[in-house]
Structure formats: C-alpha cells, structure tokens
Structure 1
C-alpha cells in the first residue's frame, strides 16, 4: 500500500468503511445489481427494499453506492431527481417511528453498582481471579459509561495512555477520533471523582487489578483470568451490558442498549438543573437537535400540567358565567 493509499484509507472511519463495503456487496452480489449503475437501476433497488429496510438504512446504502462511483471516477447515479423522488415516496408510504434507547436511571445504577461490589468481594474472597477481573472491569465500564455519557464505540476505544486519573479529584480522557470531531483534532473529556458510584475509583481499581500500562482499557477476560490484548468489540457491548443488568436483577434488561447509559445521564443531568448548553458541552453534542433526542421531558404526558389547571380555583369571570345559568 502506497503512502497515498494509506492516508486515503485513514481518512474514512473504520465503521463507515465496513458499512460501505457491506452495502456494496449486498447490492452487487445478493441483489444482483451492476456497477457502475444507472439511476433507474438504483431506483429499482430502492423499490425492492422499500418494505424491508428502514429509510435510514436505505440512505446509508445510497451513500455507499455514491462513494463507490466517485472513487471509481463514474458519475454519481444517486443524486438524480428520480432517486430523490422515489426515496421521498418510500418515506411517505412507509413511515417508521424512530426507536430510542431506554434510559438507564440512577436508581438502577445504584442497584447494579451494589450488586457488582458484592460480586467483586465474593470473587476476591474465594480466590476466583477471573470473576474478580470481570466484575471489576464491568463496574468501571458501567460507571464511566454513565457519568461521562459516552457512546458505546467511545467506551470500546478508550486507551490507557490517553487517560489521566487523579484519585479524589477527577480524570480526563483524550479521544483521537469521535463522531462529532469532523476536523480530526481529537477531543478531551473530563469526569469528576464522586463520593459514591465513583468512575475514577472504579477505573483505577480495574487498571491496577489488570496491571494495564497501555492499550485498550476494556478487554476480554477468559475463564482462566487471562486478559485479551484487543479492546472489546462494539458488537459485544450490548450483550455484555444486558447480561450485567439481568444478573443484577434489573427488570427488562433486554430493553437496554449502549446508548441507555448516555440517555440516562442526560435525563439525570436535566432533572438536576443542568441547562442544555452545559449538558451539550459536557457530553460533546454539537447541535441542540442531537441533545434533545436524548432528553425526556420532566412531564412527558403533560399530566401534572393538565391536572394543575383542572384543580386551579375558578376565576371571578368563570363564576359569573356559572351564576348566569343558575335558576333564579
């Protein structure tokens, strides 16, 4: 690979590259499309998948096909009026309500943290190093994920050499690449040390127990207590969290995802007086629209607002109207 190819390869996020490769393979091999494609062929592809795939998935497939044509020096067939109109028609005929991750609440965090602490103590007392490592890792993963509001992929990409932790004060994380960092400058996040459910203490305990000096923070632990060299894969994060929640006795554990920690923190913060600007700066959201997707209203059904209006005392004007219709 030449240096030009190397930097071209580095210019695209790995997850995006994998998704695009999968989309091209699905179009060409599984569906039987031809490349380069015509806009009519792309339109037929969209029609054939209109009832099977979500609109966002179709848009991702179009982005992959567009990039392939651009990379190969062909005209982009996905930007024609035909494709735009077909896509708009599919969205109108097959509307899908966006699914959001169920927020993980502070009460549940307390329950799981208590269970993990007990599990760590039990494993240590019985000399079960593999279990002690696993539970200690899981506690650090849970508390960092919640109090930092990290995305799942950010959690799996944390590196020991980019973290500075000061017990009793706080910790900082440097992420060379994040979703919102379009300039690829890297972003530094901070998290405080807390009197309870402390992410700093949990991270320090895991780092010391696992004797981590560099490389990925969160790694696999096998049955013999051996720690893997590679970081946890994003695809394993959701099953891992759901297993933790289930074992700790959290109801509906399968309803949660990696985004549940991020959304749970956002709801906790707004419920405790954080204004939207402060929350956006802390979590790293660039737009209000992105932030609002994670924040639930304090009174989602407007029940308290409606009931307070119904229970309000009648005004003098209202009493006059009532008296007008009373028999004399």
Structure 2
C-alpha cells in the first residue's frame, strides 16, 4: 500500500468502510448488479428491496454505491432525479417507525453494579482470576459507558495512554476520532469521580488488576485469565452487555444495546435539570436534532400537564337529576 493509499484509507472511519464494503458486495454478489451502474440499475435495485429493507438501510446502500463510483472516477448515478423520486415513493408506500435503543435507567445501573461488586468479591475469594478480571472489566465498561454517554465504538476504541484519571476528582479522555468530529481534530471528554457508581474508581480498578499500561482499555479475557492485546470488537459489545444484564437479573435484557447506556444517561440528565446545551456539550452532540433523538420527554404522554385541568368532582346534582328524569 502506497502512502497515498494509506492516508486515503485512514480518511474513512473503520465502521463506515466495513458498512460500505458490505453494501457494495450485496449489490454485486447477492443481487447480481454490475458496476459501474446506471441510474436505472440503481432504481431497480431499490425497487427489488423496497419491501425487505428499511429506508435508512437503502440510503446507506446508496451512499456506499455513490462512494464506489466517485473513488473509481465514474459519474455518480445515485444523484439522478429518478433515484430521488423512487426513494421518495418507497418511503411513502412503506413508512416505518424508527427503532430506538431502550434507555438503561439509573435504577438498573444500581442493580447491575451491585451484582458485579458481589461477583468480583466472590471471584477474588475463590481465587478465580479470570472471573475477577471479567467482572472488573465489565463494571468499568458499564459505568464509563453510562456516565460518559459514549457510543459503543467509542468505548471499544478507548486507549490507556489517552486517559488521565485522578482518584477522587475525575478523568479526562482523548479520542482522536469521533463520529461528530468531521475535521479529525480529536475530542477531549471528562467524567467526574462519584460517591457511588464511580467510573473513575471502576476504571482504575480494572487497569490496576489487568496491569495494562498502554493500548486498548477494554479487552477480552480467556478462561485462564489471559488478557488479549487487542481491544474488544464492536460487534461483541451488544452480546456482552446483554449477558451482563441478564446475569444481574435485569428484565428484558435482550431489549438493550450499546446505545441504551447513552440514551439512559441523556434521560437521567434531563430528568435532573440539565438544559439541552449543557447535555450536548457534555456528550458531544453537534446538533439539537441529534440530541433530541436520545432524550425522552419527562412526561411522555402529557398526563401530568393535562390531568390538572380536568374536573375532580362529580357533575352538579341538578344536572344529574335532569339526566335521570323520566321523559314527559
């Protein structure tokens, strides 16, 4: 790979690159399309998958095909008016409500944290180092993910050398790349030390127990207590979290995802008086639209706003008599 290719490769996020490669492979191999494509080819591809794939998935497939044509020096067929009209028609004929991750609440965080604390104590007492390492790692993963509102890929990309933790005070995280950092300048996040459910103490305990001095923070641990040098894969995060929740006794554990921690924190913050600007700065959202996708209303059904305006007593006695009187 030349240096030019190296930097071109580095200019695209890994998750995006993998998703685009998968989309192009689906178009060529699974559907049998030809590249370069015409707008008519692309339109037929959309029509054939209109009832199978969500509109957002179709948009992602279009973005991948567009990037392929641009990279190869061909005109982009996805920008044709035909494609826009077909996609608009699919959206009207097959509307779908956007699915969102179920928020992980503070009460549930407490349940899991107490379970992990007991599991760590039990593993330590029995000399089960592998279990002690896994539970200690999971506790740090959970508390950092919640209190920082990290995305799943951000959690898995945390590096020890980019973290400064001061026990009893807080910690700084530097992420060289984030989804919202379009200019690739890197972003610094902060998290406080807390009296309970403390992310700083949990991180320090994991780092010290694992003896990690550099590289990925969160890594897999095998049955013999050996820690891998590479970080957890993003695809393993959701199954890992669901297993933790299930083992701790959280109901409907399969309804949660990595984004559940982010949504849970956002709802906790707004429910405790954080204004939207403060929340956006803390989590790292650049637009109000992005933030609002994660924040549920404190009174989602407007019951507490409507109920006070309703009458609380029975109708006047005279009205009841009139309604019950026999017809003349």
Please, what TM-score do these two structures have when normalized by structure 2? 0.95
Separation in 1 of the partners of 2:35 and 2:153?
A: 32
Separation in 1 of the partners of 2:106 and 2:310?
A: 32
Name 2:269's counterpart in structure 1: 269
Partner SS state of residue 67, structure 1: helix
Deviations 1:267-310 (A, max 9, x none): 10001110000000000000111111111111111111121111
Structure-to-structure mapping, 1:207-286, within 5 angstroms: 207-286=207-286
Name 1:30's counterpart in structure 2: 30
Tell me, yes or no, if structure 1 residue 296 matches structure 2 residue 296.
yes
Structure-to-structure mapping, 1:71-86, within 5 angstroms: 71-86=71-86
Separation in 2 of the partners of 1:311 and 1:117?
A: 50
Deviations 1:25-58 (A, max 9, x none): 1111111111111111110000000000111111
Alpha carbon RMSD of aligned pairs, Å? 1.7
Structure-to-structure mapping, 1:79-94, within 5 angstroms: 79-94=79-94
Partner SS state of residue 52, structure 1: coil
Name 1:149's counterpart in structure 2: 149
Partner SS state of residue 295, structure 1: coil
Partner SS state of residue 120, structure 2: helix
Deviations 1:74-107 (A, max 9, x none): 1111100100000000000000100011100101
Separation in 2 of the partners of 1:238 and 1:128?
A: 25
Can you give the 5+ residue segments of structure 1 that lack an aligned partner in the other structure? none
Separation in 1 of the partners of 2:108 and 2:26?
A: 40
| Runs of 4+ deviating beyond 6 Å | none
Separation in 1 of the partners of 2:29 and 2:294?
A: 38
Offset of residue 71 of structure 1? 1.1
Name 1:21's counterpart in structure 2: 21
Instruction: Pick closer, same or farther for the CA change 1:178–1:124 going to 2, 3 Å.
Output: same
Offset of residue 313 of structure 1? 9.0
Can you give the 5+ residue segments of structure 2 that lack an aligned partner in the other structure? 324-328
Partner SS state of residue 114, structure 1: helix
Separation in 2 of the partners of 1:290 and 1:65?
A: 25
Separation in 2 of the partners of 1:14 and 1:247?
A: 31
Separation in 2 of the partners of 1:155 and 1:5?
A: 28
Partner SS state of residue 224, structure 1: coil
Name 2:109's counterpart in structure 1: 109
Separation in 2 of the partners of 1:26 and 1:268?
A: 40
Deviations 1:216-262 (A, max 9, x none): 00000000000011100111000000000000000000000000000
Name 2:198's counterpart in structure 1: 198
